[in-house]
Structure 1
Amino acid sequence: MTEIKSQKAVCVYCGSSFGNDPKFSDEARKLGQLLYSMRWKLVYGGGTTGLMGEIARATMGPDVDGFVHGIIPNALVARERTEDSEAPEAAETAGKASVSSFNDEIRKSVENHKGSTPLSHEYGTTTIVPDMHTRKRMMATESDAFVAMPGGYGTLEEVMECITWSQLGIHQKPVVLFNTDGFFDGLLRFIQHAIESGFISEKNGRIVQVATTAEEVIDKIQQYQVPDGRFNLNWSDEHEGN
């Protein structure tokens, strides 16, 4: 039997919380459904809560046969434990209830989110790594494109690093901001201000592509052209072992 493989791998950075607007979850779900229908692989931060959980579950599809690889540091993993005397069926039920309760608490308020997340096979394959640096490098090397959805400090840091890597010539992969309901308008104003102030060239400003729908995200990835003007540096050491 021939093994079915994904056609393309897309790294999506997004929040492990849901945010205050249902549109964020809706658009994460739509993008995941598109990835599933195209048989593309999702590479993401490994969470099962918030937007991370929404897009991962949608990409796995209704038959749980999609391509999803979550990469998460050990410190962010919440391990659900049950008593040894419990029957397997009871343990499984307890685990699902715990995950559901955890998601409900995060949905109520970001203040309830303590950073850790339970794991579940419903969200694809998970690789647990020792630290954030390993996580980011693995996510980058495994992916053919990068997409940022709404999120917090971590999401911003990750996508800005990918943009910088492109400017430095470390990679030539598409970088797309999925600007749901204007979430990234402030960041886009900053980029334009930096261009006008002489800190980013007009050409490097085109490293960042912007989409407002899930369909447009896919189109931006497929039509991406590497902009001129990026730094022409030798990063051979950066790729050793990759």
Structure 2
Amino acid sequence: MLFSPKETKLLSIQSICVFCGASQGHREVYRDMAKRLGQTLATEQIELVWGGGHVGLMGCIADATLAAQGKVFGVIPEFMAERELAHPSATEMRVVDSMHTRKATMAERADGFIAMPGGLGTLDELFEILTWAQLQIHQKPVGLLNVEGFFNPLLTMLEHMVAEGFIRPYNMQLISVAEDPATLLSIMRKHQAPQNDWLDKVQLQRT
């Protein structure tokens, strides 16, 4: 009897949280890719969840999503809203009390996460959501939109951390990487959380 390989069930992604810079960067390619991602989300009827700002790449992706008739859900801390940094045309804007609440609210709303080029805030958001995935707090896909190799040095550093024994090799499966939005979303829909026995081993060591 012949057995066909088990088909991978595609994830249903209705909303994507995008982490990206509040600056636009020095090169036009970053702005162009933010616009492409926003247009792709709108075309595929995926709600954009983002930090609520109208500046930098944050503003570019929100503007592009809205221009393509997509929905955008912003989450912004009160101190930023008071500085008039909130996007004025968001489909829905939630003002929260802190950066911690902001990240938790975005994580709860989203079915997956994409990091674009950005700075310290982008890395903070990316690594927190990856840490939560590592700890099995969630099993949502996490993607890097690797615009012209922007994240290559970061990926090299992660591989170094694996080689030095600080990241388990299977946890590299938590990260999907592609250079264009449509391909990245396709990969993320096929995401399967790696089998992680670390927490079980820790529990056994305590008993």
| Normalised TM-score (structure 1) | 0.74
Residues of 2 paired with 1:13 and 1:152: CA distance? Answer: 10
**Structure 1 SS opposite 2:57:** helix
Q: Which residue of 1 aligns with 2:46?
A: 40
- Larger C-alpha radius of gyration, 1 or 2? 1
Q: Does 1:144 align with 2:148?
A: no
Amino acid at match of 2:70: G
Q: Which residue of 2 aligns with 1:223?
A: 190
Q: Does 1:120 align with 2:124?
A: no
Equivalent pairs counted in the alignment come to: 189
Does the Cα contact within 8 Å between 2:146 and 2:179 map onto a contact in 1? yes
Amino acid at match of 2:140: K
Residues of 1 paired with 2:59 and 2:31: CA distance? Answer: 9
Amino acid at match of 1:192: E
Residues of 2 paired with 1:220 and 1:228: CA distance? Answer: 18
Q: Which residue of 1 aligns with 2:24?
A: 18
**Structure 2 SS opposite 1:170:** coil
Residue 80 of structure 2, aligned match among 68, 76, 79 = 76
Give, in angstroms, the shift of residue 189 of structure 1: 0.8
Q: Which residue of 2 aligns with 1:201?
A: 168
Give, in angstroms, the shift of residue 18 of structure 1: 0.5
Residues of 1 paired with 2:174 and 2:71: CA distance? Answer: 27
Identity within the alignment, %? 42
Amino acid at match of 2:182: E
Does the Cα contact within 8 Å between 1:166 and 1:230 map onto a contact in 2? no
CA shift digits 1:30-65 (9 cap, x unpaired): 011011011110100000111101111111234xx4
Q: Does 1:167 align with 2:134?
A: yes
Does the Cα contact within 8 Å between 1:17 and 1:51 map onto a contact in 2? yes
Q: Do the aligned partners of residues 146 and 230 (structure 1) sit closer, same or farther apart at CA in structure 2, a change above 3 Å counting?
A: farther
Across the aligned residues of Structure 1 and Structure 2, the Cα RMSD in angstroms comes to: 1.7
Residues of 2 paired with 1:207 and 1:7: CA distance? Answer: 16
CA shift digits 1:109-145 (9 cap, x unpaired): xxxxxxxx25311x33211111001100000011100
Structure 2 regions of 5+ residues with no counterpart?
1-11, 201-207
Q: Do the aligned partners of residues 166 and 118 (structure 1) sit closer, same or farther apart at CA in structure 2, a change above 3 Å counting?
A: closer
Q: Which residue of 2 aligns with 1:95?
A: none
